[in-house]
Structure 1
């Protein structure tokens, strides 16, 4: 004779099972929430420490040191160490000539000397895009390939692997910023910028930019998105003033997407071109408050904004070098790239004395520059 299971036993069994599942799910939820809270707390603590370090440094700096931080200077052909100490640069940029007849060991010793000579740790950068723009290739057996070539041969995995190799190499010689990726889109293979792009549409370029930024972050090498607001199929601003007649709507539909992807991935800096966007402003983008506002407010970029090289004809033929430096800062940018610092720095100091440029405005940029240095692990800790 079969025994019948009493209904109350069945109900009790299901109650225990369901209760156990609910309890288990609740415990898992608590663990997830707890981990998220710990992560948020760690992030807040890190930000608090960074802000403390940066503010302590700013308070201790002279006006001359602050203005010097706004300059990422080409390494001069002579008096490199003396100029570091006299002008208090934010950083040094290495070009092809700086690598000629040097070994990797030589370059590491050189960047170490630069850092030792500078009171404030330096951004040391070099354009290492690959392909037609690479600086360190003169001392490598095999130069870095362009993103376009890499993507055609091996897709995004080849891009990621290449980025890791670049980051490791740059760090090994004391270079903490690579001035890439190129976030431009060009549809015409004969366009000036095409060979430096990945050669794909906006969505693929956006994916490329985001992944490069992520890999650089992992290796604590500074990233720079360039050339905002996007070169398109326009001419070369190294040699002429370039006028771009595209509308803001057109830029939003395509050219802004890779920059937004890089910003969302945590890009450290954005380099602004000298191209004149005629539908937006009448001046080169590098001295345009309107372009700066788009980058800050529409794309929500909070990091360092730098100019393309001020010696390029796209700006130099539009305004003289000293006034250009002043207009760059007035527009809201942070870092000035170029080699005319010997007259530009005194010019900015005069603008402060005359009241045309405030120390508070300079502090805004210095704060962003020092925050970048902290993120790269070169600024140090609070006292």
Structure 2
């Protein structure tokens, strides 16, 4: 019996040792797989080993907390991309221009769209057309002309007009829009609801005539009492008042059915010379612009403005020289796109104005504008020369197709948002 009792004790002792060893092994394995225990008794998770065996858990596309959300592409951009993918390089380059019907056809004044317009659009499928008083004879005539021109274009056209109200009105003279007081009058009244309602009505009238772009509102504030180019076209010299009015007018126009275009970035109200005639310079510093001139543009961007027009004035305190703003990367890319965060369509002011023609050839100005970050070149002094300069730059690699695609995609996306692509 003593011998058997000793054997039993030895067996129990061995069992206890085995259990202890198993516990130690289990603990070591837990430490290796999950990391050390925390002070609160929990276990800090560790990154799974790249060599870990796959599990049977189903795969999922749902993002985890550490994954960045996937950026979605809008239906409008998808529609634009589909058209872009089927375009030739030359078609893309033509999309970068908005010209008068006179410049497109070689006929002046162009008051109807016929075979000359059809042939011109087949040869040079520009992105858009802009119409002036000489093109507008009557309500019925302008509407028919626009509808016919649009029917001839493979890719729908942006059809624009300067209908600001006050002294810049192309359509009120033929009864297509109401006769409006200068914008300064509405700014002084301070009624943003009334301005938005006015903009909605005006937008509806402009759309009813056949246009889809109104080159308005003026977002400049007059900080120089000797300024003549802007004057009462500005809502106010008070940045806060101008900002409220610009936002209201932008919303109204676009609720009425046309794209609004803020102008003339970064603010033309501090100059004295008229950029239609030659070089116009502002001495405002970047900080001064941020505190005043840029505020209405910020408000218009927040209101969803479809386009922004960049002026020809020079801002040496911003650019370091007398380069016109619409040809300057410091203004278009650094200030407008990067600092203000605007990724919509940027159009130049008219390139047949003295501030451009006195210092640049049509080709030089067109290429510099695209390189600066603009998408659309408005009214080059010579469309053929400007277009050929872009062709040459694309051929020698100065202008990459990726850069061209960037602007054309913005233009087509804007057209999709305006309901022009179907």
TM-score bucket of the superposed structures, by smaller chain:
0.7 to 0.9
CA distance in 1: counterparts of 2:261 and 2:404, whole angstroms: 21
The correspondence for 1:119, drawn from 150, 154, 158, is 154
TM-score, normalization by structure 1: 0.84
CA distance in 2: counterparts of 1:332 and 1:97, whole angstroms: 31
Do the aligned partners of 1:181 and 1:212 also contact (CA within 8 Å) in 2?
yes
Do the aligned partners of 1:187 and 1:194 also contact (CA within 8 Å) in 2?
no
Q: Which runs of 4+ in 1 moved over 4 A?
A: none
CA distance in 2: counterparts of 1:154 and 1:111, whole angstroms: 36
Do the aligned partners of 1:187 and 1:199 also contact (CA within 8 Å) in 2?
no
Q: Is residue 357 of structure 1 aligned with residue 399 of structure 2?
A: yes
CA distance in 1: counterparts of 2:374 and 2:172, whole angstroms: 31
* Root-mean-square deviation (Å): 1.7
The aligned counterpart of 1:165 is 201
Matched residue of 2:227: which SS?
coil
Do the aligned partners of 1:209 and 1:262 also contact (CA within 8 Å) in 2?
yes
Q: Is residue 130 of structure 1 aligned with residue 165 of structure 2?
A: yes
The correspondence for 1:148, drawn from 184, 191, 200, is 184
TM-score, normalization by structure 2: 0.76
CA distance in 1: counterparts of 2:250 and 2:156, whole angstroms: 22
- Alignment deviations for residues 112-167 of structure 1 (CA, whole Å, 9 cap, x no partner): 11111100000000000011111112202853322112344573233223212211
The aligned counterpart of 2:307 is 269
- Alignment deviations for residues 80-106 of structure 1 (CA, whole Å, 9 cap, x no partner): 33222211110000111111x32x222
The aligned counterpart of 2:210 is 174
Q: Which moved more, 1:361-370 or 1:149-158?
A: 149-158
Q: Which moved more, 1:308-317 or 1:74-83?
A: 74-83
The aligned counterpart of 1:314 is 355
CA distance in 2: counterparts of 1:158 and 1:49, whole angstroms: 33
Aligned length: 334
Do the aligned partners of 2:346 and 2:376 also contact (CA within 8 Å) in 1?
yes
Matched residue of 1:244: which SS?
coil
Do the aligned partners of 2:188 and 2:236 also contact (CA within 8 Å) in 1?
no
Matched residue of 1:199: which SS?
coil
- Alignment deviations for residues 53-112 of structure 1 (CA, whole Å, 9 cap, x no partner): 11110011111110011001122152333222211110000111111x32x222221111
Do the aligned partners of 2:101 and 2:130 also contact (CA within 8 Å) in 1?
yes
The correspondence for 2:95, drawn from 57, 69, 73, is 69
Greater helix fraction, Structure 1 or Structure 2: 1
Do the aligned partners of 1:112 and 1:174 also contact (CA within 8 Å) in 2?
yes
The correspondence for 1:299, drawn from 329, 333, 340, is 340
Give the C-alpha shift of residue 377 in structure 1.
0.5
Do the aligned partners of 2:161 and 2:215 also contact (CA within 8 Å) in 1?
yes
Give the C-alpha shift of residue 286 in structure 1.
0.8
- Equivalent positions of 1:14-53 (< 5 A) are 47-53=73-79
Matched residue of 1:306: which SS?
strand
The aligned counterpart of 2:256 is 219
Q: Is residue 328 of structure 1 aligned with residue 388 of structure 2?
A: no
The aligned counterpart of 2:410 is 368
Matched residue of 1:125: which SS?
strand
Matched residue of 1:245: which SS?
coil
Give the C-alpha shift of residue 322 in structure 1.
1.3
Q: Is residue 60 of structure 1 aligned with residue 86 of structure 2?
A: yes
Matched residue of 1:209: which SS?
helix
Go from structure 1 to structure 2 and tell me whether the alpha carbon gap of 1:268 and 1:341 turns closer, same or farther (over 3 Å shift): same
Go from structure 1 to structure 2 and tell me whether the alpha carbon gap of 1:247 and 1:188 turns closer, same or farther (over 3 Å shift): closer
Pair member with larger Rg: 2
- Equivalent positions of 1:336-351 (< 5 A) are 336-339=377-380, 340-351=382-393
The correspondence for 1:287, drawn from 327, 341, 357, is 327
CA distance in 1: counterparts of 2:190 and 2:313, whole angstroms: 33
Higher relative contact order (CA 8 A, sep 6+): 1
